[in-house]
Amino acid sequence: MRGKPRKLQLPERLRWNHNEWYRRRLLRQLPSGAGAALDVGCGLGDLARSIRADEVTAIDASARMIERASATSDRVRWIHGDVLTHDLERYDVVTAEASLHHLPLREGLARLAALTKPGGTLVVVGLYLTATWADRAVELVALPANAVVGLAKAVRGTGGSPHDPEMPIVTTAPTLPEIRAAAAEIVPGARIRRHVFWRYSLVWRAPEVH
């Protein structure tokens, strides 16, 4: 049975951006000296601008997000489009930060894998739905830790709303068992880790062609 989305929220001034918290971890998974990179569901482009590659492409289904992101950098090729249907190349690096849950899980993961060149790297940092006893045990740690980090950020003046008001929001996500099952079929050998603040990471290296 699927769990219910979390309803407990910190006061606005104590809220903060969990995606930003895990961005450094995501970037550390990327190979150095990548030729071409694709960021899927780029939003305002914070991750895309941080990727070190010869060529960086970023795609988002929201025209408004692409309009705003494209005003921040001309180093990135910004695309307004649906990643499932848009004509794209294959890339040495494919990233998806808090965007896979905007797509049908299996179709979305299969598309990300197909966009990854042989020998390339796919890195996802995503949201999962709290549904199992293990999820709830982690949440017992996450809830007070979330408040402590929020308080520390508020004291430093770096807290506040974790989402831009124009950012499209999806209020559900797949469960971790669903994510693991899909990954076993579509990206076998992918390394999946649960993280404290309602995120998981998936790292997959596409098999080389011999």
Give yes or no for residue 45 having a pLDDT over 90.
yes
What dihedral do alpha carbons 185, 105, 18, 145 form, nearest 10°?
A: -70
pLDDT score of 209: 78
pLDDT score of 33: 84
Note whether 45 and 72 are within 8 A (CB).
yes
Q: Which residues contact 131 (CB under 8 A, 6 or more apart)?
A: 1, 2, 3, 175, 176, 177
Average pLDDT of 77-81?
98
Give the pTM: 0.86
pLDDT score of 7: 46
Average pLDDT of 142-159?
64
- pLDDT tens digit string along 113-148? 999 999 999 999 999 998 889 888 887 887 766 666
d(CA 31, CA 53): 9
pLDDT score of 4: 43
Mean pLDDT score across all residues of the chain: 86
pLDDT score of 149: 60
Give yes or no for residue 84 having a pLDDT over 90.
yes
Give yes or no for residue 194 having a pLDDT over 70.
yes
Average pLDDT of 46-62?
96
Q: For the ranges 4-18, 27-41, 156-170, 194-208, which has the lowest average pLDDT? A: 4-18
Q: Which residues contact 145 (CB under 8 A, 6 or more apart)?
A: 196, 197
